[in-house]
Amino acid sequence: MTDFIAQARAILKTNDRGGYTVPTDRLYPFQWNWDSAFVAMGFAAYDVPRAYRELERLAEGQWADGMIPHIVFHAPSDSYFPGPDVWRTSHTIATSGITQPPVFGMALKRVHDAAVDSGLVNATERSAPLFEAALCWHRWWYAARDPEQTGLVALLHPWESGSDNSPAWDIALARVPTTTETAVVRKDTGHVDQAMRPRDEDYRRFIHLVDTYAACGWDPERQWKAAPFKIAEVQTTAILLRSGEELERLAVMLGRTEEAAELRQMNTLSRKALLAQWRPHLRRFVSRDLISEEDVEAPTQAGFIPLLALDLEPAILDAACAEMESWASGLAVAFPSTPQAFAGFEAKRYWRGPVWGVINWLLIAGLRRNGRVDLAEGLRAATVQVVERQGFAEYFDPLTGEGCGGLDFSWTAAAYIEFTRKAA
């Protein structure tokens, strides 16, 4: 009988680069922000000191203004574009100039709890500086990405969502020019079938945005004014709120009363704002395009991630769950990043249809929070089964269950550890 837990742990060990974990060899040779947060939660199940180290290495890349970048370039590699020379940031450690969904707070609370449960004597000592890093990052989110204090934080680049080529960005991204000052020399399609990756046109727009913000000196106020792409996003806000709740609990545990109150204020603001993004006729939550001042109605998994951070009233919960079930119906594996019935659906192209283990992780947590244990368990079991059939792929074709993208993927291994831990 195959020991899949041993395989998952072996993948994390293989992808270890000295206290930080790359998502997979060659395709992603650096430390990615939300990948590492999920990985830290995977490590927490069996190696708490290593889990702490994952977060500590990520925090090494934190900027003076509090932002934790989406990539930390700890060591050079020529297998990825865009590298440090394209980002043109100026920090002690080379990093990208944008951020990613703040799973960090959720991860830190999980790691701290595991440390306490395991009797680790220096749990508070290890957690305290990471709490400071997380709090500073949350302050950055509300200052830099919600300057009008709406409670919804905005993204200035599709990469910040983690869902790079999602149909949610099609309309807004089409307004971004394809002209760039930077030669676009893609490396990803040398490692993975180009049919599974964003298009060349997408990349030119992505790099145009990088050029735009680099010209602003990566100053948040200047970027906000110059941004041709600006989406107040429900998935990122929901993750921020859930992490904020976890940090608020951790602040109480650490005796940080004032910081707990500050986090509570942030969380209250975002909770109210997220609830206001529910659209009954769509049976999901929607993001907001701050340039066109219109709802982002393209159907994606982001519309259900608010379950992670909200305690929904029965009518809203029932409607959201019914919509989720309709998306999952007839698929080899759920949950799709966009529904099969949508015109923009592509079963194998990155965030335009495929199933992602970490998105299922967030959805399962949201369903459990809201008492829908039946749907949560079905999604958990299906994710475990597809990994055991297809391996620890980056993502999966929802129509066939085929593993796609990078192989031996760290966050899929972490998700498997999480899902089997819950089952135990």
> What is the CATH number for 188?
1.50.10.10
Among 143, 170, 103, 56, CA closest to 359: 103
CA 386 – CA 333 distance, rounded (Å): 7
Among 214, 199, 208, CA closest to 228: 208
Among 298, 303, 394, 399, CA closest to 344: 298
Domain ranges, residue 300: 2-418
CA 94 – CA 251 distance, rounded (Å): 30
3-state helix, strand, coil in the chain (%, to 5): 55, 5, 40
Among 272, 279, 287, CA closest to 231: 287
- Asked if residue 259 is part of any domain, the answer here is yes
- Asked if residue 121 is part of any domain, the answer here is yes
> E strands along 259-386, which residues?
278-279, 284-285, 287-289, 294-296
Question: Side chain identity at 331, as an amino acid letter?
Answer: L
What Cα–Cα distance (Å) separates residue 358 from each residue in 180, 239, 288, 393?
32, 12, 24, 12
Question: Residues 129-179: pLDDT tens digits?
Answer: 999 999 999 999 999 999 999 999 999 999 999 999 999 999 999 999 999
Q: By three-state DSSP, how is residue 285 classified?
A: strand
- Asked if residue 166 is part of any domain, the answer here is yes
CA 346 – CA 374 distance, rounded (Å): 28
Alpha helices in 92-199 (DSSP H): 104-117, 123-144, 170-174
Residue 119: what pLDDT? 95
Which tokens is 133 given? 């890093």
Question: Residues 251-272: pLDDT tens digits?
Answer: 999 999 999 999 999 999 999 9
Which residues does 244 contact at the CB level (< 8 Å), separation at least 6?
Answer: 105, 138, 263, 266, 267, 270
Q: By three-state DSSP, how is residue 31 classified?
A: strand
CA 310 – CA 281 distance, rounded (Å): 19
Are the C-beta atoms of residues 286 and 271 closer than 8 Å to each other? no
pLDDT bracket for residue 194 (50, 70, 90): low
Span of 184-193, 216-225, 339-348, 398-407 with lowest mean pLDDT: 184-193
Count CB neighbours of 267 within 10 A.
21
What Cα–Cα distance (Å) separates residue 251 from each residue in 126, 129, 248, 263, 405?
14, 12, 5, 9, 39
What Cα–Cα distance (Å) separates residue 188 from each residue in 28, 209, 255?
8, 19, 46
Question: Residues 82-95: pLDDT tens digits?
Answer: 989 999 998 889 99
- Burial bucket for residue 249 (CB in 10 Å: 0-12, 13-18, 19+): middle
Say which residue the tokens 């704002």 belong to.
Answer: 273
Among 203, 113, 123, CA closest to 158: 203
CA 378 – CA 382 distance, rounded (Å): 6
Pairing of strands 154-155, 403-404: unpaired
Question: Residues 292-321: pLDDT tens digits?
Answer: 999 999 999 999 999 999 999 999 999 999
CA 13 – CA 219 distance, rounded (Å): 37
- Asked if residue 424 is part of any domain, the answer here is no
- Asked if residue 336 is part of any domain, the answer here is yes
Does the pLDDT of residue 193 top 60, yes or no? no
Which tokens is 84 given? 């440090």
CA 348 – CA 402 distance, rounded (Å): 9
Among 122, 369, 154, CA closest to 245: 369
pTM of the model: 0.96
Question: Residues 14-53: pLDDT tens digits?
Answer: 999 999 999 998 788 999 999 999 999 999 999 999 999 9
Q: Residues 341-348: what's their mean pLDDT?
A: 96
- Asked if residue 324 is part of any domain, the answer here is yes
Known catalytic residues are: 164, 394
Does the pLDDT of residue 394 top 50, yes or no? yes
- Asked if residue 54 is part of any domain, the answer here is yes
- Asked if residue 399 is part of any domain, the answer here is yes
Does the pLDDT of residue 191 top 60, yes or no? no
Residue 202: what pLDDT? 87
Domain count, the chain: 1
Distance from chain centroid for Cα 371: 23
Residue 423: what pLDDT? 45
Does the pLDDT of residue 249 top 60, yes or no? yes
Are the C-beta atoms of residues 15 and 78 closer than 8 Å to each other? no
